[in-house]
């Protein structure tokens, strides 16, 4: 089994061309970040890998598009693991974040405002703070419930547009490289693909240029976990569920922290990197255990 370099190159080229062109047109037309228009751009952007798969398979190679959908709806434990793992990662990153210099526990969530005060208008934060005071439970538990609910529904549907490209098409095509090399390569491509959003302040609002490097490292560290779930579940759907839930619960890692910055704390900061590095060590052990059983 050999790698179809030309086919992979066409997919990657189309994905970057369509995605980055959409982002460029948005900014050229005066689009602003943290607006409803940016949310729409994000949804369109996430669909571009899927669009590129369709074009590559059906238009360029005249092959069945259904062969790469990997829509296996047969439930297994990995569907549930994919759903519940992201908030666990978030809480672990919260714990590691507490160990960072200058970072303290902030139950009133004032630290999150300080972290993003350049983005959250004071009036909006005051209104949010007043509403929080009247809630019957702490907002972190509501965020957890909302993240889990959206992660398995609308977020998973949107994430499938990405995952069909990364853990569907690319995962299949790069299998000859082996698990770790293919996972790292997918993560590298995935990370670079985020560049237009990072430059506009997504994830790293105060460090947009360095944030690109941070996002690439994060995606490389995260990719083996996604590929592991994809491998064990034999479906792209759990990868989409995990992606959607991760997007819905990422704030769990920073809600209750004060101090530090986005490079240190959060699931996409150094705290998250440490957690993912430990997860990768666990995957390595599990892989070795599976091979020894064969």
List, for residues 215-244, the tens digit of each pLDDT value: 999 999 999 999 999 999 999 999 999 999
**Average pLDDT of span 31-41:** 86
Measured CA distances, 186 to 165, 194, 228, 240, 292 (Å): 10, 13, 13, 15, 26
Instruction: Identify whether 284 is part of a domain.
Output: yes
Q: How far apart are CA 94 and CA 63, in angstroms?
A: 46
What global pTM score does this model have? 0.90
Q: Which residue has the higher pLDDT, 127 or 178?
A: 178
164 close to 53: Cβ distance less than 8 angstroms: yes
Which domain covers residue 91, as residue numbers?
A: 72-293
Whether 140 is in a domain gets the answer yes
The residue ranking higher by pLDDT, 46 or 69, is 46
Q: How far apart are the first and last CA of the chain?
A: 21
User: Residue 149 has what pLDDT?
Assistant: 97
At residue 116 the predicted structure's pLDDT band, cuts being 50, 70 and 90, is low
Residue 128's H or E segment, with its range, is helix 122-133
What value does the mean pLDDT take over residues 4-30?
Answer: 95
pLDDT of residue 218: 98
pLDDT at residue 81 in the model = 96
Per the domain annotation, does 6 fall within a domain?
no
Domain count, the chain: 1
In this model, does residue 69 exceed pLDDT 80? no
Task: Categorize the per-residue pLDDT at 117 as very low, low, confident or very high, splitting at 50, 70 and 90.
Answer: low
User: 28 lies in a domain?
Assistant: no
Percent of the residues in the chain that have a pLDDT greater than 90, as a whole number: 69
Look at residue 40 and tell me if it is in a domain: no
Q: Give the residue carrying structure tokens 């670079």.
A: 192
Chain mean pLDDT for the chain? 89
Average confidence (pLDDT) over 137-151 = 91
Lowest mean pLDDT, pick from 104-108, 145-149, 197-201, 280-284: 104-108
Residue 23 has pLDDT above 60, yes or no: yes
Distance CA 102, CA 96 (A): 13
Q: b/e per residue, 117-127, with b = 16+ CB within 10 A? A: eeeeeeeebee
Query: Would you state the pLDDT for residue 135?
Result: 72
Q: Is residue 16 part of a domain?
A: no
Task: Report if residue 37 sits inside a domain.
Answer: no
More confident residue, 128 or 162: 162
pLDDT surpassing 70 at residue 256: yes
| Res 8 pLDDT > 60 | yes
Residues 214, 212: Cα–Cα separation, whole Å: 5
Residue 63 lies in a domain: no
pLDDT for 119 equals 64
**110 pLDDT exceeds 70?**
yes
pLDDT at 294: 38
Q: What is the DSSP letter of 167?
A: I
Q: Is the pLDDT of residue 62 over 90?
A: no
């Amino acid at each position: 089994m050999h790698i179809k370099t030309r086919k992979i190159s066409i997919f990657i080229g189309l994905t970057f061309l369509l995605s980055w062109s959409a982002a460029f047109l948005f900014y050229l037309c005066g689009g602003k970040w943290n607006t409803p228009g940016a949310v729409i751009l994000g949804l369109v952007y996430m669909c571009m890998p899927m669009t590129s798969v369709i074009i590559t398979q059906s238009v360029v190679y005249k092959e069945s598009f259904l062969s790469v959908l990997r829509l296996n709806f047969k439930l297994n434990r990995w569907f549930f693991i994919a759903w519940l793992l992201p908030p666990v990662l978030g809480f672990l990153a919260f714990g590691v974040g507490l160990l960072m210099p200058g970072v303290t526990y902030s139950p009133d969530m004032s630290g999150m405002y300080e972290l993003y005060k350049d983005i959250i208008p004071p009036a909006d934060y005051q209104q949010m703070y007043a509403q929080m005071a009247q809630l019957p439970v702490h907002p972190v538990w509501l965020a957890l419930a909302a993240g889990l609910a959206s992660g398995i529904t609308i977020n998973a549907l949107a994430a499938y547009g990405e995952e069909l490209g990364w853990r569907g098409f690319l995962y299949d095509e790069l299998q000859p490289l082996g698990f770790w090399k293919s996972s790292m390569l997918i993560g590298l491509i995935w990370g670079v693909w985020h560049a237009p959003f990072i430059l506009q302040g997504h994830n790293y609002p105060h460090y947009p240029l360095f944030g690109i490097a941070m996002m690439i490292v994060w995606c490389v560290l995260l990719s083996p976990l996604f590929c592991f779930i994809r491998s064990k579940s034999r479906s792209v759907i759990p990868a989409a569920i995990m992606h959607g839930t991760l997007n819905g619960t990422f704030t769990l890692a920073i809600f209750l922290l004060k101090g530090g910055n986005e490079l240190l704390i959060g699931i996409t900061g150094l705290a998250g990197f440490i957690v993912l590095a430990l997860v990768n060590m666990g995957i390595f052990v599990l892989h070795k255990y599976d091979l020894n059983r064969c």
